[in-house]
């Protein structure tokens, strides 16, 4: 019982070990609960002191909706990983017996730090001047997206079972072929947002390559959705 859930939890721990080894994360926060025939993997919520965020709340009226959401997530531990450039990653899974019934995997770029992929040399340098530079984000916009598997609210074309949200637009749901496994999700994250480190990450993943097919979920897309713009994943 819960074989797939335990493998998913183990995959998250394996990813965490590599991220720690390469100093790519500041915090890791994954917990699981078993309630009757449900196995739930999610962040362990609790209020935490984040003095590093206090300076941004001195004038809350100037904060954008996204900045307020980011601060709230950090303060209540609503994250699975915080990357070393401040990006928040959320991972939520709900399994019932042997089946995945709900999934949410999100990426929120920090609005208060410069992203690693634009300034890798500053992150590698480690000087005080570079550290101050990285804390002065001058980006006009930030990237955030969420992969969802939500079959309960399925409505063909408008609410695909598996879909991708972009930004704060809840009605933006791009059909996705199937739910993502943990390994595929982090392969996507490291390749696109931490590309300087992707070669090392890909080398680490080689020992898991055989697991990609094993972890592959069944297709959830409909023929109608498949004939529209969609994301094909394996």
Short-list 166, 185, 184, CA closest to 175:
166
203 domain residue, yes or no: yes
233 domain residue, yes or no: no
Q: How confident is the model at residue 114 (pLDDT cuts 50, 70, 90)?
A: confident
191 domain residue, yes or no: yes
- Rounded to whole angstroms, what are the CA distances from 56 to 64, 65, 95, 111, 140? 11, 13, 38, 10, 17
Range from 84-88, 120-124, 134-138, 210-214 carrying the lowest mean pLDDT: 134-138
115 domain residue, yes or no: yes
231 domain residue, yes or no: no
pLDDT at 7 over 70: yes
DSSP 171-185: T--EEBSSPPPHHHH
41 domain residue, yes or no: yes
pTM (predicted TM-score): 0.90
Residues 130-154 have a mean pLDDT of 79
User: What is the C-alpha to C-alpha distance for residues 48 and 56, in angstroms, rounded to an integer?
Assistant: 16
Domain extent, residue 184, equals 3-226
User: Can you name the residues that pair with 33 across neighbouring β-strands?
Assistant: 40
pLDDT tens by residue, 215-224? 789 999 999 9
Q: How many domains does the chain have?
A: 1
DSSP conformational letter for 155 = B
């Amino acid at each position: 019982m819960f074989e797939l859930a335990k493998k998913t939890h183990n995959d998250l721990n394996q990813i965490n070990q590599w991220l720690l080894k390469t100093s790519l994360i500041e915090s890791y926060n994954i917990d699981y609960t078993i309630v009757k025939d449900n196995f739930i993997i999610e962040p362990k919520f609790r209020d935490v002191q984040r003095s590093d965020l206090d300076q941004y709340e001195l004038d809350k009226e100037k904060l954008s909706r996204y900045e307020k959401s980011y601060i709230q997530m950090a303060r209540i531990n609503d994250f699975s990983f915080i990357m070393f450039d401040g990006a928040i990653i959320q991972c939520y899974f709900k399994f019932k017996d042997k089946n995945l019934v709900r999934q949410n995997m999100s990426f929120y770029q920090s609005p208060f730090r410069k992203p690693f992929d634009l300034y890798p040399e500053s992150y590698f340098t480690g000087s005080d001047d570079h550290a101050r530079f990285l804390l002065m984000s001058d980006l006009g916009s930030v990237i955030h997206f969420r992969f969802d598997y939500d079959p309960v609210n399925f409505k063909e074309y408008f609410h695909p079972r598996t879909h991708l949200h972009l930004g704060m637009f809840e009605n933006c749901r791009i059909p996705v072929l199937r739910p993502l496994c943990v390994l595929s999700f982090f392969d996507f994250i490291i390749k696109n947002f931490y590309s300087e480190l992707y070669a090392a990450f890909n080398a680490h993943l080689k020992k898991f390559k055989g697991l990609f097919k094993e972890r592959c979920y069944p297709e959830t897309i409909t023929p109608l959705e498949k004939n529209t713009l969609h994301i094909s994943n394996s």
